[in-house]
Chain A
Amino acid sequence: MRISTFWYCIKQGLQSIRRNKLFSLASVGTMAACVFLFCIFYSIVVNVQNMVKMVENTVGVTVFFEEELPEEEIQSIGEMISARAEVADMKYVSAEEAWESYKTDYFADAPELAEGFAKDNPLANSASYELYLNDIEDQGSFVEYLKSINGVRKVNYSEMAAAGLASVNNVVGYVSAGIILILLGVAVFLISNTIAITITARKEEIKIMRMIGATNYLIRAPFVVEGLIIGLLGAGLPLILVYYAYEYAVRFCISRLSILSRILTLLPVGQVFQVLIPVSLGLGLGIGLFGSLFSVRKHLRA
């Protein structure tokens, strides 16, 4: 394609948008709403996922054993548990290690107090396994399994974190996918309608072009360009908006909600937008292309 033809198509596409302001605006608006929601939901889902991951890594399940259970027995139970597919990581904590860790956590300021227990470990019989799961969603059933093992005295776990985060993430995922799908449909419909209106407005011009011997490609290309521009604008505008909003949210969390920083840490803006920018622009261009091609095929038969 010649450069001048390329510019001709771009110019015609822009001209059509200018002539057909209202519908173009409606199409860009719907597209923007769609991409905006996509960005918002993606940001939520990816951050919740990140928090779930953090919880999975930090909130573990601890298994304690019956008093006087022989060491070999504990070991064989440990081997059985670690063979399970749900287990990501497992660590044995002996009674002595448990006491050492407790001491550094709670008697760091007054080690002399802890010395009183030197010969009599208060955490005897507290040998345990610390387990980290691959997927926190499996925690419920896995805990049931652990409790059913002979010799297990107690299983410590955090129910809230597991059930809450996992289900919130699922609900957000499904709802956002549903809304985005509906909006995508509306965007395709609006873009194809906008293009159809442009085609009608330029019917006479198209007739003349055909008569003169313009190729179908050259007749159709400006309409596809129009769709692509609408898609690009519809994706670009919300991206800019969400970028600044997200950046603000990250700053807000750091400065005002630092107390919650262990739970509520937002992913850095660069990491989220590394995915959002290409996906949103691809979405915009794809919808623009699909909508305009649909309309061109319907209204501009060769």
Chain B
Amino acid sequence: MIEFDHVCKTYDRSTDRETKAVRDISLKIEKGEFVFIVGNSGSGKTTLIRLLLKEIDATSGNIRVGDTDITGMKRKMIPRYRRRLGVVFQDFRLLKDKNVYENVAFAQRVVVTPIREIRKRVPEVLSMVGLSSKYKSLPSQLSGGEQQRVAIARALVNRPEILLADEPTGNMDPGNAWQIMKLLEEINRMGTTVVVVTHSKEIVDRMKKRVITMKHGVIVNDKEESGYGNED
């Protein structure tokens, strides 16, 4: 499903002080997998997500998602490619002046989904994330956990193949964080490949999923059903 082949990303190539964010990364994530990417700040986790989102281009190496080689993808093709991904961030990135329903519907509207389909699909995903009763609330009226559920609903509404979550529980108390993780697990069980970047040792240890550990831009550990920082 996702394949990194000797990928390097170097920032600030124009200046003398080059920063190598990721170096010679090679990894494979199969369809339907649930993977944690862990590591300290600056270890290159977020760069990995940004490369996948095609927000930045790899300096060298190849990245494939499904049948698509996204390394040399034309700018024009990027929007269509991104529709195959759902993304969730630590800061939710909801539109403050739109209510829950509108925030989720917005994701369908901007990819030109027919209104009839929007009216059918949005209640479906809101029910999946347990927010059916709050569809009229504004983000400011919701707790952090609820806001993240809206963000997840928005990421799911266009039926992505892969869900990328960058520190999805970063701003939450352990109770809410655990619920979000269970929701992501549920989504994974329904067939979506889930990649979660996180700092949370507790969660990673409890979930018992594949864990890829990064340090200074390289993968130092990649183990199935592992815990945070377990290096053999």
Question: Smallest Cβ distance from A45 to chain B, in angstroms?
Answer: 47
CA distance A3 to B229 in the complex (A): 53
Q: Once the chains bind, are A8 and B79 in contact (CB under 8 Å)?
A: no
User: Chain A's interface: helix, strand, loop or mixed, by majority?
Assistant: helix
Q: Which of B76, B107, B115 touches A212 (beta carbons < 8 Å)?
A: B107
Identify the interface centre among A2, A8, A212, A216: most chain B CB within 10 Å of its CB. Answer: A212
B93 touches A204 (CB 8 A): yes
B2 to chain A: closest CB distance in Å?
17
B150 adjacent to chain A (CB < 8 Å): no
Interchain CB contact under 8 A, A214 and B95: no
B82 touches A212 (CB 8 A): yes
Q: Which residues of A are found within 8 Å of B85, using beta-carbon distances?
A: 213
Which B54-100 residues sit within 8 Å CB-CB of chain A? 75-76, 79-83, 85, 87, 93, 95
Give Cα A209 to B110, complex, Å. 7
The distance in angstroms between the C-alpha atoms of A171 and B109, with both chains bound, is 55
**Smallest CB–CB gap between A4 and chain B, Å?**
6
A211, B95: Cα distance in complex, Å: 13
| Interface membership of A215, Cβ < 8 A | yes
- On chain A, the residues within 8 Å of B107 by CB distance are 212
A241 lies within 8 A of chain B by Cβ: no
Q: Which residues of B contact A212 (CB under 8 A)?
A: 82-83, 106-107, 110-111, 154, 158
Cα A211 to Cα B81 with chains together (Å): 10
How many residues on B have C-beta within 8 angstroms of the other chain's C-beta atoms? 22
Cβ-closest chain B residue relative to A1: B112
B112 contacts A5, CB within 8 Å?
A: yes
Could you tell me the distance in whole angstroms from the C-beta of B46 to the nearest C-beta in chain A?
A: 14
Contact with B110, one of A204, A214, A302 (Cβ below 8 angstroms) = A214
Closest to A2 in B: B112
A97 at interface, CB cutoff 8 A: no
Contact of B114 among A4, A210, A211 (CB under 8 A): A4
Q: Which of A231-283 contact B (CB under 8 A)?
A: none
- A208 at the binding interface (Cβ < 8 Å): yes
Contacting pair B95 A213 (CB below 8 A): no
Is B53 within 8 A of A208, CB to CB? no
Is A207 in the interface zone, CB < 8 Å from B?
yes
Give Cα A216–Cα B87 distance, bound, in whole angstroms.
19
Residues from chain A with a CB closer than 8 A to the CB of B83 are 212-213
